[in-house]
Structure 1
């Protein structure tokens, strides 16, 4: 395990920030899942209470990742197809997107969620290709969506976030260094708190907390944490995350640590174009598309 989060520093990091609580709909779905015999119809009805959540659920299940021959047109059918535990993970991710983006339709917020969705799809598709268990595939999707959730909170406090980060990254500062200097917190800590409060696994929370600390994560005693971390960083690389968010082509973390991260996944640098082609066949764009 990477070093435990210093909870004494959390209160300082949270100054001025409010972690979005789990919405009531998610709590009701969790109650259904905890029941001896979860009621699929009830779960579908809960999802259908919000047209945005219902629509997004159908969009995900009809994505190329699942490779369905016929489109699923009802949430109830989607729940039966996915299974109740996967529905909870999916809805949790969907609700996070709507909760943190509520009332915000500015350009950077749209870029942030577009980037998160792309990273999530890439991470999940790669996990499937590497024959990871279904639970890990689902966790990779959640990791892709949640890993930058803390950025949304900081951006809510200042419209200058994108410009400040761009200048700092071009000056070869690290993410946390820039954020601590200007905002007295960092998106890794905020993301950890969001993930923890929304019930993600300890491994996912830990990876989110340290996803800009490659040296620490690669020394983790948990093989699962290292695999999740390596998959996330590979997905970030394929998506061109720094270019999407801040219009820069620098990715010093990848350049410095790509060899040990790829070693965790037991692949070589020469295989990346082949993996990119796999993603393209799934209609997922990558930096190799350009």
Structure 2
């Protein structure tokens, strides 16, 4: 397991920031799930309370990843076909996007969530290709959407975030170093707090807490943490995350650690174009298609 988060660092990180609580809809859904006999119709009705959330959930379910022969046209049908637990994981991630992006339609916020969605789809598709369990595939989707949630919080209070990060990254400084200097916190710790408060597993919020600490994560004694971390970093690379968010082609973190990251997944650098082609067939764009 990754080392425990420093609680004093958390207190400092929260200075001026409010972690968004889980919406009531998730709390009511959880109550249904905890019941002796969960009511699928009631759960579907709760999800359908917000047409935007329900619509986005169905869009994900009907994406090329699931490869369904027929379209899923209702949340209730999705719950029956995929299982309630899988749909709830999707809903949780969708709700996070809507909650943190509420009232934010600026260019950077749109780029942030488009990037998160692409990373989530890539990570989930790669996990399926590598024959990881269904649980790992679902966790990869949640990880892709949650891993940069802390950036949304910082950007809400610091509109100059994109410019400052771009300048720092061009100088080849690390994410946390730049954020600590300008905002007295970092998006990894804020993301950890969001993931924990929204009910993700300890493994997931550990990976989020240290996803810019490759040396630490690659030495974790938890094979699951290492695998999820490696899948996330590979997905970030394929999506061209730094280019999408900050218009920068440099990725020193990947270049320095890609050998060890790929080793976790038992693949070679020469296989990357082949994996990119796999993603293209799933209608997912990558840096290899530009």
Quick check: TM above 0.5? yes
Give 2:139's aligned residue: 139
Distance (whole Å) between structure 2 residues aligned to residue 168 and residue 246 of structure 1:
10
Which shifted more, 107-116 or 8-17? 8-17
Give 1:6's aligned residue: 6
Distance (whole Å) between structure 1 residues aligned to residue 280 and residue 32 of structure 2:
38
Q: Does structure 1 residue 211 correspond to structure 2 residue 211?
A: yes
Shift of 1:105: 0.3
Give 1:93's aligned residue: 93
Give 1:117's aligned residue: 117
Give 2:283's aligned residue: 283
Distance (whole Å) between structure 1 residues aligned to residue 128 and residue 51 of structure 2:
29
Shift of 1:34: 1.4
Shift of 1:72: 1.3
Give 1:194's aligned residue: 194
Distance (whole Å) between structure 1 residues aligned to residue 282 and residue 35 of structure 2:
36
Shift of 1:75: 1.3
Shift of 1:14: 0.6
Shift of 1:190: 0.1
Distance (whole Å) between structure 1 residues aligned to residue 171 and residue 284 of structure 2:
31
Question: Per-residue CA shift, 1:221-264, capped at 9, x if unaligned?
Answer: 10000000000000000000000000000111100000010000
Q: TM-score, normalised by structure 2?
A: 0.99
Q: TM-score, normalised by structure 1?
A: 0.99
| Aligned-partner SS, 2:96 | helix
Question: For residues 98-247 of structure 1, what are the structure 2 equivalents within 5 Å?
Answer: 98-247=98-247
Give 2:267's aligned residue: 267
Question: Is the contact made by 1:19 and 1:194 (CA closer than 8 Å) also made in structure 2?
Answer: yes
RMSD: 0.6
After the TM superposition, list the runs of 4 or more consecutive aligned residues in structure 1 that deviate by more than 3 angstroms: none
Gaps of 5+ in 2: none
Question: Per-residue CA shift, 1:160-214, capped at 9, x if unaligned?
Answer: 0000000000011100000000000000000000000001010100000000000
Gaps of 5+ in 1: none
Question: Per-residue CA shift, 1:93-135, capped at 9, x if unaligned?
Answer: 0100000000100000000000000000000000000000000
Shift of 1:33: 1.2
Distance (whole Å) between structure 1 residues aligned to residue 224 and residue 123 of structure 2:
14
Shift of 1:38: 1.2
Question: Is the contact made by 1:38 and 1:84 (CA closer than 8 Å) also made in structure 2?
Answer: no
| Aligned-partner SS, 1:169 | helix
Give 1:75's aligned residue: 75
Question: For residues 240-259 of structure 1, what are the structure 2 equivalents within 5 Å?
Answer: 240-259=240-259
Distance (whole Å) between structure 2 residues aligned to residue 134 and residue 68 of structure 1:
16
Give 2:65's aligned residue: 65
